[in-house]
Structure 1
């Protein structure tokens, strides 16, 4: 199915993606608790026992995102305000928890600023973005853009993600709100917004879920923005000019995560039986190379190109449910955070 046909069909089907689901039990084929998934040089052994904690003391709701700091600690955000931040070592041992004030804790970005690491947290329920220390001290708050005259009072601002530009500028994806990418200085002063809500205009978004700095070309860094409902990553200049799209048919993707030349993303929904409908209780991980071609889909079908066009991709092995983020450690293992997955902890994929 060609991109424009898929987009038109998805415009009708997209509303089903918001339907909540029931609790989820991690599933693998034939009862194998450690299957091997993936394709080509990117295959992984599934470890579903990693990181499981005492749920009465350390509950999770949605495991939204995870980053690894310079001490190799894995820092995860959940929208469970009993412990918004859960910090693991690579073996899955609990190191620390903090945060009780983020009912919509969603996006988590790590940024090294002159040798000191900071976190940027988005809360789509409170409609704010916070810069914090690794211990949770809030240093900067960016509030609803209506307060600076950039949104009308009736406009929604439900931020889902941030990234930090080469000069420290803060980019915010309003993925559950008005579908803009907003740019601020490092001090939180508004610069511009771009994008907005629209299906057929390439410069606009339907669910601008993520924004990431793509610095794989050091001389020409760009923004990699997620357009989930159109199965696309969209490339923009740092001042908001649209460049191109990377179409991933069947993959309702989350943010782009870079490791070297590779791009990883959690697929929150996969297409339903090769039709452009986001299937509930689905998802996988997709991995692209430096040429933005899919080389592996752990949990999904093998990527196939026909005359240069990528064929539709769907979930193949029912291990995941709504993959929301991927974290890559220094051994190239993956940690998969899931949304609406029955309050389960992250899944580790051990690189083989």
Structure 2
């Protein structure tokens, strides 16, 4: 099965509702003169960003390849994009200069899927990258130079799976106590919890019905530890249900934000936090910023054409600066800039520079 077929199968079932809501209209501020080369400014108030044109600078002959992965930023400010191309995980500086590639073990596998998500975590004096490989049915911990620390497969002790191929991990995150969590967004719709030693602890979730039960999911695509409150919580993008769900570190349901009213959330796919601000990459063509109370601040790069959202098949001739098509991976930079990797067969990597 192709990457495209699997992804479409998992989110298009809920796509119609999101697109119906989108008829209300985009909620974002767009300024600048694209015809004469002027800056493209997105957002409102304290959240204004310049869409940096032609940000990526590759060596002659190098291509990004298909992108269907994640984005992380290390302590040096270098940006890591996981791709389905020959460079696997590509590393850039803030100016878009290509620095190196790592993780060759996680290059495209069989039908073209490489690393689907990444999380960077500092442990002692060293940073590590936790990653999931969708079609390898595995997840791993590596160094920022690509050395493998460990690799794990499906959580057999969970009792969820008849065989390892049913486990299709899509997201991973690490808690302050060293425990980590893996979402099976394209498989059984579970969240799996592991202790700091990498031992399986517990699972929760399962496929939701039309009633959209709390604690159940329809494509729990990616996951993050939300440390904005008094206690850290596990935050999951329940993508095909158009909502976000929060849980304790033990997996007890806490709260939900439903995005089906007012075109609030279409297909929330990825999350990242800087200070009190939550950035959400929406596969249906935009980035959304929420405040500490999870109230809408702004939508960024919201394209006007619903037919040009949530697809990986639009080539560069269809790309419009200032408009997203399918935001899939995302990370803040400590400077306040945002880096976004789209789901795209040609590979689209975007920088939004914070305007101060």
Tell me the residue number matched to 1:169.
179
Distance 2:142 2:34 in 1: 44
User: Deviations along 1:218-256, whole A, 9 cap, x unmatched?
Assistant: x41100111011111100011111111112234211122
Whether 1:337 aligns to 2:352 is no
Tell me the residue number matched to 1:65.
70
- Structure 1 151/29 Cα, relative in aligned 2: closer, same or farther at 3 Å? farther
User: After TM superposition, where is structure 1 displaced by more than 3 Å over at least 4 residues in a row?
Assistant: 9-16, 28-34, 146-150, 314-318
The size of the alignment, in residue pairs, is: 306
Tell me the residue number matched to 1:138.
148
Q: Which moved more, 1:136-145 or 1:289-298?
A: 136-145
Alignment of 1:166-315 (within 5 A): 166-199=176-209, 200-217=212-229, 219-249=230-260, 250=263, 251-269=266-284, 283-300=285-302
Distance 1:124 1:153 in 2: 15
Q: Counterpart of 1:229 in 2: which secondary structure?
A: helix
User: Deviations along 1:43-62, whole A, 9 cap, x unmatched?
Assistant: 11111310142474243211
Tell me the residue number matched to 2:317.
none
Tell me the residue number matched to 1:277.
none
* Contact kept in structure 2, 1:39 and 1:298, CA below 8 Å: no
Q: Which moved more, 1:314-323 or 1:284-293?
A: 314-323
Distance 1:14 1:125 in 2: 28
TM-score (norm 2): 0.79
Q: Which runs of 5+ in 1 are unaligned?
A: 1-8, 17-27, 270-282, 303-313
Whether 1:157 aligns to 2:167 is yes
CA RMSD across the alignment: 2.8
Tell me the residue number matched to 1:79.
84
Distance 1:202 1:209 in 2: 16
User: Deviations along 1:33-74, whole A, 9 cap, x unmatched?
Assistant: 532111232111111310142474243211522111111111
Q: Counterpart of 1:254 in 2: which secondary structure?
A: strand
Deviation at 1:192, TM superposition (A): 0.4
- Structure 1 203/63 Cα, relative in aligned 2: closer, same or farther at 3 Å? closer
| One of 333, 346, 351 as aligned partner of 1:348 | 351
* Contact kept in structure 1, 2:70 and 2:115, CA below 8 Å: no
* Contact kept in structure 2, 1:29 and 1:317, CA below 8 Å: no
- Structure 1 211/12 Cα, relative in aligned 2: closer, same or farther at 3 Å? closer
* Contact kept in structure 2, 1:265 and 1:325, CA below 8 Å: no
* Contact kept in structure 1, 2:88 and 2:102, CA below 8 Å: yes
Q: Counterpart of 1:172 in 2: which secondary structure?
A: strand
* Contact kept in structure 2, 1:108 and 1:120, CA below 8 Å: yes
Q: Counterpart of 1:101 in 2: which secondary structure?
A: helix
Tell me the residue number matched to 1:25.
none
Q: Counterpart of 1:64 in 2: which secondary structure?
A: coil
Q: Which runs of 5+ in 2 are unaligned?
A: 1-11, 20-31, 109-113, 311-319
* Contact kept in structure 2, 1:214 and 1:258, CA below 8 Å: yes
- Structure 1 244/301 Cα, relative in aligned 2: closer, same or farther at 3 Å? farther
Deviation at 1:12, TM superposition (A): 7.8
Q: Counterpart of 1:255 in 2: which secondary structure?
A: strand
- Structure 1 128/14 Cα, relative in aligned 2: closer, same or farther at 3 Å? farther
Distance 2:13 2:294 in 1: 23
Tell me the residue number matched to 1:21.
none
Tell me the residue number matched to 2:111.
none
Tell me the residue number matched to 1:98.
102
Deviation at 1:99, TM superposition (A): 2.5
Q: Which moved more, 1:179-188 or 1:60-69?
A: 60-69
Distance 2:15 2:295 in 1: 28
